[in-house]
Structure 1
Amino acid sequence: MGKQATLQLNKIPTFEDAKALDNSDLQNQAIASALPEQLEETVNNPQAALPKCICLNLEDLKCFESVESRFESWGVIFHNALAIQPSNPAFPTHLGLTMLTGSPKNGFLEANFLYPVNCVSAYVTSSQRLVLCAYDRDRQLLAQTVLPAANLANSDSAIPPNYLLTVTANNIHSVTFCAFDGQFTLDDFNFCF
């Protein structure tokens, strides 16, 4: 397991902040748990020092907390999302203790971005085949990727738990995770501008 750092700032992180993390995996990435008051101003300013990628710090969430607008200040609003600390060993965490799951409706989670992004990724463990879809402003499908089968821990699945799913396209405004009436967990939710 690599080093993990968390930025606890009340301002938009700069690239110098990212360099201070001293971890090549985190270069040009912020781990978001703070309230960046200037996000809109920074996103709309091409000369601003905005990190290229943001990884949401789920560890600040309370177990069973609804996550709807918790990260709105970082530019993402969730629908049907709940923070959990799973007790079922079939759903191990990737890093830390807290993950997201679709709830109250099983098998579905949506993230809407206030500003378009170009890449979204998360580590996924699912009891069913899972599809990650990216949509534009008009809800037209831009890209999708599939976890072809269940990947629960301690199962005979050929796919390991916490499998990285990524969608890449220009101007992604929302993504959905759908496990077709299954259950799944997400960890290390990232998005890049």
Structure 2
Amino acid sequence: MVKQATLQSNKLPTIEDAEFAFDKFNIQNEIKASACRNQVESAIDAARISVPTCIFLDLEELKCFEPVERQYERWGVIFHNSLAIQPSNPAFPTYSGLTVLMGAPKSGFVEATFLRPVNSVSAFVTSSQRLVLSAYDRDRQLLGQTALPGSNLANSDSAISPNTLLSINVNNIYSVTFCAFDGQFTIDNFHFCL
């Protein structure tokens, strides 16, 4: 079951309440992207892609406290201000596996830049306060936003479950930012679709 919050968008619809689920994307090509450089993997040829292709980042190969920037560059994404962690605080449970991303050295902010435009970006997030996911075009013009309306820490009185799916779907996304305005948050199962 996919957990989700009721989210608002300032421009374009991003999550359709009961209609959003991984199996409704009509995805025929799914790729689990590894950070490990010694594996032989096929490169993505954007010119040959005719059906939606989604890249799911495998964070489990990252070392705890490893700065994450260009490990997934060959898959088309570069991170800024991101650190791999294995949360020891039970308020920040993982969605799957042991490793998640968080903003560091500047807390409350993570950016992902795509080498070619994507049409959908999603991740499971747990945050200490309101978290905004913003999508931008090539010229850094805002395409749309969606937000986790408040804290969703585990073992709290929040009405929102930890690891809530945030998603934004709009054409020609060149970068996204996650911003919790001086709060702490984790990102798990980050994926994007071409």
TM-score (norm 2): 0.81
For 2:10, the equivalent position in structure 1 comes to none
Partner amino acid for 2:88? Answer: S
Q: Is the 8 Å Cα contact of residues 30 and 51 (structure 1) preserved in structure 2?
A: no
Partner amino acid for 1:117? Answer: V
Q: Distance in 2 between matches of 1:161 and 1:27?
A: 29
Q: Distance in 2 between matches of 1:78 and 1:59?
A: 16
Q: Distance in 2 between matches of 1:155 and 1:116?
A: 38
- Between Structure 1 and Structure 2, how many residues are aligned? 169
Q: Distance in 1 between matches of 2:49 and 2:123?
A: 26
Shift of 1:153: 0.1
Match status 1:169 vs 2:174: no
Q: Distance in 1 between matches of 2:60 and 2:113?
A: 21
For 2:8, the equivalent position in structure 1 comes to none
Q: Distance in 2 between matches of 1:62 and 1:87?
A: 15
Partner of 1:31, secondary structure, is: strand
For 2:143, the equivalent position in structure 1 comes to 142
Partner amino acid for 1:125? Answer: T
For 1:7, the equivalent position in structure 2 comes to none
Q: Distance in 1 between matches of 2:79 and 2:51?
A: 22
Identify which range, 47-56 or 82-91, moves more after superposition. 47-56
Q: Distance in 2 between matches of 1:182 and 1:103?
A: 11
Q: Deviations over 1:135-165 (max 9, x none)?
A: 0000000011000000000000000000000
Partner amino acid for 1:174? Answer: S
Q: Distance in 2 between matches of 1:119 and 1:164?
A: 13
CA distance 1:27–1:60, change in 2 (3 Å): farther
Partner amino acid for 2:100? Answer: M
For 1:17, the equivalent position in structure 2 comes to none
Q: Distance in 2 between matches of 1:184 and 1:80?
A: 13
Match status 1:158 vs 2:163: no
Match status 1:38 vs 2:43: yes
Partner amino acid for 1:93? Answer: T
Gaps of 5+ in 1: 2-23
Shift of 1:38: 3.2
Partner amino acid for 2:43? Answer: Q
Partner of 1:171, secondary structure, is: strand
Q: Distance in 2 between matches of 1:190 and 1:184?
A: 17
For 1:92, the equivalent position in structure 2 comes to 93
For 1:11, the equivalent position in structure 2 comes to none
Partner amino acid for 2:65? Answer: F
Identify which range, 50-59 or 92-101, moves more after superposition. 50-59
Partner of 2:60, secondary structure, is: helix
Q: Is the 8 Å Cα contact of residues 28 and 51 (structure 2) preserved in structure 1?
A: no
Q: Distance in 1 between matches of 2:92 and 2:58?
A: 19
Partner of 1:73, secondary structure, is: helix
Q: Which has the higher contact order (CA 8 A, sep 6+)?
A: 2
Identify which range, 29-38 or 69-78, moves more after superposition. 29-38
Q: Percent identity?
A: 66
TM-score (norm 1): 0.82
Match status 1:103 vs 2:104: yes
